[in-house]
Structure 1
């Protein structure tokens, strides 16, 4: 295992002071970067560990914040904040762009080689960055088959992969169908992976606080979804050190 370094970074977004987790690979040269968006509760050890795992693979990785350093364990509070956010594409883009700026300006990051992945609300933000025309090498989402404003998916400039549980009541078949129709009509290079029997947030280990109905951990599919994310990055954003950096 390579030696990585991590640090907490603060930055402004959505009228808040956000707290992100930045993980850097060993070495000194520039590496491709990955932005990681969390579930609606906000970043937890799950996203931070994924940032660390990507750094071990040679990426710079930033797990970004949604709620000003808070983790919203109360489902009602989380929904009260996230539902208006998910209904406001411009606000989602501002949150994503603020985090992207942090990752891009990190000296170890190659600013021209960045991907965005995300879970739930964080995945919706990753998709909105694509619909805003941000130059990304890949977009990967889990539990986020969300659609955007008409016509804006045509601005997506990279492959899109989405993973969702077949029994996810929050992302049911009609929402999945709308998402794939949007991607297809826009000419996006898209893939959808359906994980049989999985609920919403199937990738997230059990938490010690109440969750909304329809949420459940599926360890086998969680491992598969992570491999699918890593494969997407390996295909679209292979790790190559920039010796001139």
Structure 2
């Protein structure tokens, strides 16, 4: 059985509304912090949290738009997101605020933390990892990448999964490989998945509730059902590899 809740908390001078999903029972459970795409916290990320709870994780889908989504409003979205991406301190603060909410959930195993981020949310979880938050696993799907700096990643642990589409103009395979080389030089465990023919935000199905209709208005953005499923399976495989006993806790 999965238990869900909406949690409000303060960050970036705003009141955020996160989605929490957890297995029933006392735990302890590994925990996953989820960062949404620039469009906002939608049903897709909420469902990721629910599925992870079904697999034996406590998952918090953070919010960094104060409950707002920008479906069909690309200019408004960019006006909100671009200043954030230009300010690492704000990203750290937003990420840490959500992380503290997750860590305060009863049953969280603080020694078994992971992070999953999409787009700008991928940048947030990468910033946290670079700040030495002890994630055991980090999955970033078409992330907005931080600066390539080997020194930042020296001493960072955990396994990294970086995913993008071959046709993504905003997070190209070459950019991910360059970033991966910085991880490699720092001694980090990393892998890159490139999905042939996929564009940016390839997971976002505009035909589903909460799906992004940006496909019709933003060049280089399109849903790809097959690769969406493959990327999600890669995330589940990473977590199962790092936390092989995720479901082995006391349940109700």
Q: Smaller-chain TM-score range? A: over 0.9
Structure 2: distance between partners of 1:81 and 1:230: 30
| Contact 1:147/1:182 (8 A) holds in 2 | no
Query: Matched residue pairs, number?
Result: 241
Structure 1: distance between partners of 2:155 and 2:139: 16
| Contact 1:140/1:229 (8 A) holds in 2 | yes
Relative to structure 1, the CA distance from residue 223 to residue 173 in structure 2 (aligned partners, 3 Å threshold; closer, same or farther) is: closer
Q: What does residue 133 of structure 1 align with?
A: 132
Structure 2: distance between partners of 1:157 and 1:177: 19
Partner secondary structure for residue 167 of structure 1: coil
Structure 1: distance between partners of 2:200 and 2:84: 19
| Contact 1:96/1:126 (8 A) holds in 2 | yes
Partner secondary structure for residue 44 of structure 2: helix
1:173 Cα deviation after fit: 4.1
Gaps spanning 5+ residues in structure 1: where?
A: none
Offset from partner CA, 1:176-211 (integer Å, 9 cap, x none): 232122212221111000000100001111234554
Q: TM-score, normalised by structure 2?
A: 0.91
Relative to structure 1, the CA distance from residue 211 to residue 234 in structure 2 (aligned partners, 3 Å threshold; closer, same or farther) is: farther
Offset from partner CA, 1:65-114 (integer Å, 9 cap, x none): 01111112210011111112112222111111111111111002112211
| Contact 2:162/2:176 (8 A) holds in 1 | no
| Contact 1:145/1:164 (8 A) holds in 2 | no
CA RMSD of aligned residues (A): 1.5
1:212 Cα deviation after fit: 2.0
In the alignment, does 2:165 pair up with 1:170?
Answer: no
Q: TM-score, normalised by structure 1?
A: 0.93
Structure 1: distance between partners of 2:54 and 2:247: 14
Structure 1: distance between partners of 2:230 and 2:173: 21
Q: How does 1:80-119 map to 2 (within 5 A)?
A: 80-119=79-118
| Contact 1:145/1:175 (8 A) holds in 2 | no
Q: What does residue 218 of structure 2 align with?
A: 212
Q: What does residue 209 of structure 2 align with?
A: none
Gaps spanning 5+ residues in structure 2: where?
A: 207-211
Q: What does residue 188 of structure 1 align with?
A: 188
Partner secondary structure for residue 50 of structure 1: helix
Q: What does residue 65 of structure 2 align with?
A: 67
Partner secondary structure for residue 11 of structure 1: strand
Q: How does 1:148-159 map to 2 (within 5 A)?
A: 148=147, 150=149, 151-159=151-159
Relative to structure 1, the CA distance from residue 177 to residue 144 in structure 2 (aligned partners, 3 Å threshold; closer, same or farther) is: same
Q: What does residue 233 of structure 1 align with?
A: 239
| Contact 1:145/1:162 (8 A) holds in 2 | no
